[in-house]
Amino acid sequence: MNTENLKLTPFWTDDFPRPADLPVSPLPEQVDVAIIGGGYTGLSAAYTLAKGGASVAVLEQNQIGSGASSVNGGQATGGLKEGPQSLIKHYGRELGYELWASSLKAIRYTEQLIRDETIDCDYVSKGSIALAYRASHYDQLVRSAEWKARELDYHTILIPRDKLRTEIGSDVYFGGMLDENIGGGLHPAKFVYGLARAAACAGALLCEQTQVQSISRRPGHDGFRLVTSQGEVSADAVLIATNGYTEALVPELRRRVLPIGSYMITTEPLPAELQQDISPNQRVFWDTKWFLNYFRLTPDGRMAMGGRNDLSTSLDLLDSAHRLHRRTLEIFPQLRGIPITHSWTGRLGVTFDLLPHIGQVEGIYYVFGYSGHGVAIAPYLGREVAQLISGQISRSPYAEIRHPTYFFYRRSPWFLPLVEAYFRAIDAIW
């Protein structure tokens, strides 16, 4: 792989930088709700609260969208990391079904938000395909499809190996399961900046370069006092919406989410006939490995390949580019000789049960833990936690499930190399 002209920066923000006219504001003295984190979750919560008449400030320590919200794979797909059968097994029919159904509602909400606010983010709703990494994985996809049809009246399309070329220009997989009911791909940077503009137009204040240094109760008052790098602000309620970038501001929260690295590369734009060969129906793809790969064509016809190369958040981006390029050529040997233009990373927020959670710690609201499914579920849960804060709703299934953590996780996830070795072994033998 020639790395001479490789950019170690995200393709999405290189293609669509932060707009110079994004309506940002100075730090106010007081608001009804202070939201820490300027990604999908925080901006959606701010949008919902401001539309409901609350005064709200989004406090972002860098620039709006500077975390994973602007640099992810752009796959807006239904479902959570845990499938519906597992959810129902663990939480019972009613609550398990509600959790799964909410992930489908999340897609519809995101699509409606894009329409209502005319967010030009290159959204293409052509569905998604899970690709079987091994023959046994295809058998599992078959059982899953049959169970969904029987128990949920939800229908997907099974694609055996000998028919897979109708959907993907690769012979390495053992079949797939197509969900053409819902979801597709979008440009994440365009989406996050469009959502920011919508929140600001609704009345939310976007405060960039505003790092929150401490949160304390206001003496003799309800609410909180936040000390930031730009001064102090008082708020009746505080929401932490930092997902994989959650730090030790509230130590108990840091113990509830694991920051995991996810890595991506893009090629240069492909010839039209090669695009048609690789992805004739413009789906988004992911495979069934634990260390999965996810990929799609970008709006301008590049192959964007992502994966869990390493659970750490600090893998060298040249190393990552080499690893992902090797995997790209294993899947698509016809891309040999096509230059790689960008290599970058972003952080996932992963919980011990692989589910998102809404909760409160010391009276401070939080929502995070999308485990790689945040493009659609993060805006949806941003709205849901905002409705809880404002009293528009009285419950959420994501606030009712237990949020596990463990005694051995305090300041840093020292155990991740052990987890990585375990899952690599599973991928090698199962």
**pLDDT confidence of 314, banded at 50, 70, 90?**
confident
At residue 424 the predicted structure's pLDDT band, cuts being 50, 70 and 90, is confident
Select from 365, 366, 367, 370 the least CA-distant residue to 353.
Answer: 370
State mean pLDDT over 386-401.
Answer: 97
Q: Which residues contact 69 (CB under 8 A, 6 or more apart)?
A: 39, 40, 43, 188, 191, 192, 374, 378
> Could you report how far apart the first and last alpha carbons of the chain are, in Å?
30
Residue 239's pLDDT band (cuts 50, 70, 90): very high
DSSP 297-358: E-TTS-EEEEE-S-SSS---HHHHHHHHHHHHHHH-GGGTTPPEEEEEEEEEEE-TTS--EE
Q: What percent of the chain has pLDDT over 90?
A: 86
Element (H, E) at 368: strand 364-368
What average pLDDT does the structure give for the chain? 95
Residue range 167-178: mean pLDDT, rounded: 98
The mean pLDDT value for 114-128 works out to 96
Q: Please give the share of the chain, as a percent, with pLDDT higher than 70.
A: 100
Dump pLDDT digits (tens) for 321-375.
999 999 999 999 999 999 999 999 999 999 999 999 999 999 999 999 999 999 9
- pLDDT at position 411: 79
According to the model, what pLDDT value does residue 311 have? 85
Say if residue 309's pLDDT is above 80.
no
H/E element, 91: helix 84-116
Confidence at residue 160, expressed as pLDDT on a 0 to 100 scale: 98
- Global pTM value: 0.96
In 64-133 the beta strands, taken as DSSP E runs, fall at 75-76, 128-131
pLDDT confidence of residue 223: 94
Residues 9-18 have a mean pLDDT of 97
- CB-based contacts of 11: which residues, under 8 Å, 6+ apart? 264, 266, 298, 302, 304, 341, 342, 344
Report phi then psi at 268, rounded to 5.
-70, 165
Average pLDDT over residues 375-396: 97
pLDDT of residue 385: 98
pLDDT tens figures, 51-99: 999 999 999 999 999 999 999 999 999 889 999 999 999 999 999 999 9
**What are the percentages of helix, strand and coil residues in the chain, rounded to 5?**
35, 25, 40
Q: What is the pLDDT of residues 40-53, one digit of tens each?
A: 999 999 999 999 99
* Domains of the chain and any CATH numbers: 20-72+189-258+352-425 (3.50.50.60)
Tell me the mean pLDDT in the region 243-252.
89
Residue 79, pLDDT score: 83
Q: Which of 373, 340, 339, 337 is nearest to 355 (CA)?
A: 373
Q: Give the model's pLDDT for residue 191.
A: 98
Task: Please state the rounded mean pLDDT for residues 217-233.
Answer: 92
